[in-house]
Amino acid sequence: MKKTVKMFLILLIVIMALSTVLAGCGSKKAENTGEMSAKPGDDKASTEPVKKSDMTLTVYDRGTIPAEEGTVEDNRWTKWISETGPVNAKFVAIPRWESMQKMNTLFASGAAPELILEFDPAIKQQWFTQKQLQPIDEMIEKYSTDYKKLLETYPQIKKLAVKSDGKMYEFGRVQNLRTNHFLYIRADWLKKLNLEAPKTIDELYTVAKAFAEQDPDGNSKKDTYGMSLSFVSGLVLASAFQNVSWVVENGELVRDWDRATAMTTFMKKLYDEGIVDKDFVTDKNGAKAQQDFITGKLGIYGANAGGEALGFALYDSFKKNVPAGEIIPIALPKTEFGQFSPVLNPPIQLTAVVNVGAKNTEGIMKYVDFMSTEATMKTLKYGLDGTHSKAGANGCYAPIDAEKFKQEVSYTGDLAMLTNPALEGKCALYSSQLNADKPLEAEFLNIIKLADEAYLSPERPVATFTEYMPQLPEELQLISKNGEKSGANGTLAPGNVLADNWVKAVISGAAYTPEQAMTDSKAAWDKIGGKKLEEFYKSWYAENKDKAFMQKDLYTFK
């Protein structure tokens, strides 16, 4: 009898052990390896589904999603996020260029989503001032794994996310430091007119004048412009003059007027001599200048996202219109204020805040963790492995079918505002998707190389002392809005009294000089309370210059 009981107990133990092993095998989730998903839901548990909490969040609506794909709130990728991620994500569409108005209405009605994705720091600062947001320190500490690791690797995120009360209020992401604005010049025109690429602002004037007056396109007509002043071209010129409003002089942060005056004087000279298109003020988005450039009528042009897909599309259009044309990016010419580089893509972006009324902080944090992984980033960027993209010889993913990719994947950028391209290393760069065996793409790869050499150098730093200006107290925000709004042509676009003065000086001939514009602008600045803003920035810089994210910190992300 004892022997029988003993055998029964042994058998029972074996059965229980086998049950435990089999249960463990059945419930184990796929590990996050950094690979793209093969299909939606691949990394879910294979046993009965776990009940997920609901979470509401915003998504920009740009009106660009193909009708066949659904809507911005309901499409293949919003479904994939809910199926694969840790929560049932309920998306709320926010018109891209009306986010403040839409969100303020939602806040007022008590219907604002729990997680709010927003790029504009001024809008988020307003919500913070109005106590519409809640700090995120505790939820990170209690619930996070992946995002907590990201903060440990990139402590600069925390440095930027902390508000005036010492707590973090924004989630961020990390990208590679990349070129953004390019200064393009027609290299074939330089050769034809026996000119060198300009290295100083005086040489830039000489070259632009020759492009406008010496028939570089050889059609025996005076139908070319030397350079553009519209939109990005104006912003690039502002970088060359370091005309960025706030500059460091003698160890202090001060409001600049001399650089604005010098830039206006230069532009006035180009305008008066007919070297530039005199309609540049009304060309607010630069569309006319771009058309002139791609059709071979413009010699010097500032391009946006020069080393990205947008830049390649511009180059492709140029070569189709002017097959024999040759363009190269050049370092910004040196001025009396130094030599600088144009705007770069900042390596850290703060992209999300949490509604003060949000209760599901665990779900929010798990969602942010899910978005912070390499696997999620790759899937939202490239689509499904083997369906939309595949790894090439360089190990980087690229689309299999360009049209299919455009239709089914190209609209995911706003869903991916919390993903981290830097996790991909060099594969995050647009250049990794180009094929050097194709002549056009090989040419563009060389353009990117030249731009990186010209612009990603601390020897020619960006013109601003920081890419991340401090958040202003509520009482100073209106002063900043009225006195610093720049608009489509940098500091010279209409939009407020100060900007209008500079524009007036460019287009008014001898009747209104840059010096008069400076005098009038200073008076207007004082009238709106600009001195208060000057004192704030001066004090902030003195206290934070050794600990805030400054110009030099950009180049640690190369």
Contact 256, 247 (CB under 8 A): yes
Which pLDDT score is estimated for 50?
A: 66
pLDDT in tens, 461-477: 999 999 888 888 878 88
Give the closest residue to 465 by CA, choosing from 551, 549, 536. Answer: 551
Look at residues 531, 116, 174 and name the one whose alpha carbon lies nearest to residue 348: 174
Decide: pTM greater than 0.95: no
Share of the chain above pLDDT 90, in %: 74
What would the mean pLDDT of 331-351 be, rounded to a whole number? Answer: 95
User: pLDDT confidence of 377, banded at 50, 70, 90?
Assistant: very high
pLDDT greater at residue 46 or residue 381: 381
pLDDT at 433: 86
Beta-carbon contacts of 365 under 8 Å, excluding residues fewer than 6 positions away, are 136, 139, 140, 142, 143, 144, 147
CB contact at 8 A, 206 and 228? no
Mind listing the pLDDT tens digit for each residue in 71-111?
Answer: 999 999 999 999 999 999 999 999 988 999 999 999 999 99
Residue 200: per-residue pLDDT: 98
Amino acid present at 55: M
pLDDT at 41 > cutoff 70: no
Burial of 24 from C-beta contacts in 10 A (0-12 / 13-18 / 19+): exposed
- Which tokens hold the place of 533? 């803003």
pLDDT band per the 50, 70, 90 thresholds, residue 37: low
Whether 36 has a pLDDT exceeding 90, the answer reads no
Can you tell me the mean pLDDT for 483-502? 57
pLDDT over threshold 60, residue 47:
no
Residue linked to tokens 């018109």:
95
Mean pLDDT estimate for the chain: 89
Q: What is the pLDDT of residue 497?
A: 62
159-194 pLDDT, tens per residue? 899 998 999 999 999 998 899 999 999 999 999 999
The H-or-E segment that residue 349 falls in is strand 348-354
The model's pLDDT over 410-448, given as tens digits with 9 standing for 90+, comes to 999 999 999 999 999 999 999 998 989 999 999 999 999
- Kindly report each contact of residues 165-168 with a partner whose C-beta sits within 8 Å and lies 24 or more positions away, as own/partner: 165/135, 167/135, 167/136, 167/137, 168/135, 168/136, 168/137, 168/140
CB 144 within 8 A of CB 168: no
Cα 91 from chain centroid (whole Å): 22
Phi and psi for 352 in degrees, rounded to 5? Answer: -150, 145
Question: What pLDDT shows up at residue 427?
Answer: 93
CA 133 to chain centre: 23
Nearest to 155 by CA among 346, 344, 364, 348: 348
